[in-house]
Amino acid sequence: MSAYRCRKCETGVLQPYIKESFDTENTEIFICSNPKCRHRTVIPSAVIVISQILSSFMGGLFAAYLFIQQLSVFVTIIQLRSDASITKPILLMSISMVFLVGLGYTLMVGLDGLSRRRLFQKAAENQVYHAHDDESSETH
Ligand SMILES: [Zn+2]
C-alpha cells in the first residue's frame, strides 16, 4: 500500500491532522509523519463535496430540462415554418448549455474531492488497523 504515502518525501505517511476546533468545517488536513518533511495535503470536507455534487446535479437537471424544452420549441417553429422568432429559443438553449458546462465542471470537482476523501479515509483506517503490520505482509 502506497496510496497514502507522502508524495513529496516518499518516506513519510500522511496522517489526519487535528486542527483547532474553530476551523474544522471547510477542509480536512493530512500531514506527513516524516518530521523533516511535514508536507500537508488538504482535502475538501464532506459538506463541500456533497453540496457541490447535489447542487450541480440538481442544476444540471434543470438546465437539461430547459434545453430540451427550448429545443422542442425551436423544432416546432422550424417544422411549422412559423413566423415566430427563433432567436429566443436559440438564446435560451445557449444559456442552458453554458450552465450545463459549468455545472458539469462543478460535478467533476465534487467527484474528484469525493475520491480524494475516500482515498485518505481508507488510508487513515489502514493506518489505525495495520499500524503494527510489516509492510511486506500487505497483499498488494
Ligand atoms: Zn513527506
Separation of 29 CA from ligand 1 center, angstroms? 14
Query: Measured between alpha carbons, how far is residue 125 from residues 10, 32, 41 in Å?
Result: 20, 16, 17
- What is the per-residue pLDDT for 110? 93
Separation of 75 CA from ligand 1 center, angstroms? 59
| Residue 57 belongs to a domain | yes
Separation of 13 CA from ligand 1 center, angstroms? 7
pLDDT in tens, 54-105: 999 999 999 999 999 999 999 999 999 888 888 999 999 999 999 999 999 9
Separation of 123 CA from ligand 1 center, angstroms? 15
Separation of 92 CA from ligand 1 center, angstroms? 50
Separation of 125 CA from ligand 1 center, angstroms? 19
| Residue 18 belongs to a domain | no
- What is the per-residue pLDDT for 27? 66
Separation of 4 CA from ligand 1 center, angstroms? 10
Cα(49)–Cα(47) distance, rounded to whole angstroms? 6
Question: Which residues is 43 bridged to in the sheet?
Answer: 28
pLDDT in tens, 6-53: 878 888 887 777 666 555 555 677 888 888 988 888 888 888 899 999
pTM of the model: 0.66
- Give the full edge-to-edge strand order of the sheet including 40-44: 14-17, 27-32, 40-44
Say how many domains are in the chain.
1
| Residue 92 belongs to a domain | yes
| Residue 81 belongs to a domain | yes
Q: pLDDT class for 135, splitting at 50, 70, 90?
A: very low
